[in-house]
Amino acid sequence: MMLGKIHSLETMGLVDGPGIRVVVFLQGCALRCQFCHNPDTWATEGGEEMSPQELLQKIVRYRPYFTRSSGGVTFSGGEPLLQPEFVLETLKLCREARIHTCLDTAGCGRGMYDEILQYTDLVLYDVKQITEESYRQMTGRDWTETGKFLQAVRRAGTPVWVRHVVVPGLTDGEAHMAALQSFVHAHVPNVQKVELLPYHLLGVHKYEVMGLKYPLTGVPAMDIGKVEQWQKKYFAVGETRR
């Protein structure tokens, strides 16, 4: 029996795709983003083992909260694409059940992108950084894999919402926003909107509990007002997530 490793479920999510959503956080991530607030999802081991059928049973319980035009399930993490076989099978079951599907991803998985995107209604794509050097510094990896994913998205024609965390001194400022706008237009296909997410400190305690050094010690939370200004100026469609 195929089993996936589930870190946790959020049953009334309002910020990870359209409408009210079940958010499935899968275990495991290959990136080590400096601003990550979920280090507890990094390890590929751990989590609750569940079959695609068992996960679908949990998802359909919340179908009454979905509407004809919004609501559904979002696969997040960690990085859901590190469990491609499990995600693909679950997506197929959701398609049969007529449940809208979102894939919240940095595009750094283990392949099978073309097959997975056949059953994905919306991609929430995380732009970590906009140059190869800054991407490597931010995530610890090069962007070869995420480039392969974007090529697959282009082939599939799947709609995309871009999301970008705004970190003081790293991904903020007028120059960066103008460069981000150009990067999205040039490299990310099928974009419907861009959401700027203010950097916050809510995950710092997790590093302390896990005995890990926090990469951005001393960096303050991002000023939400500034992010809202940049959202309106450069990416008028979309709301600033608090």
Number of Cβ within 10 Å of residue 36's Cβ equals 21
Residue 239 lies in a domain: no
Give pLDDT, residue 239: 43
Q: What is the CATH number for 63?
A: 3.20.20.70
Domain that holds residue 151: 4-234
Residue 97 lies in a domain: yes
Assess contact for 6 and 25: CB atoms under 8 A.
Answer: yes
Q: pTM of this prediction?
A: 0.94
Residue 186 lies in a domain: yes
Give pLDDT, residue 237: 62
Residue 240 lies in a domain: no
Classify strands 21-26 and 191-198 as parallel, antiparallel or unpaired: unpaired
Residue 242 lies in a domain: no
CA distances from residue 99 to 22, 65, 83, 105, 195 in whole angstroms, order as listed: 11, 12, 20, 19, 24
Residue 64 lies in a domain: yes
Based on the structure, what is the number of domains in the chain? 1
Residue 241 lies in a domain: no
* Residue 176 host element (H or E): helix 174-187
Give pLDDT, residue 241: 46
Give pLDDT, residue 70: 87
| pLDDT tens, per residue, the chain with 242 residues | 899 999 999 998 899 999 999 999 999 999 999 999 999 999 999 899 999 999 999 999 999 988 877 899 999 999 999 999 999 999 999 999 999 999 999 999 999 999 999 999 999 999 999 999 999 999 999 999 999 999 999 999 999 999 999 999 999 999 999 999 999 999 999 999 999 999 999 889 999 999 999 999 999 999 999 999 999 999 986 444 44
Residue 52 lies in a domain: yes
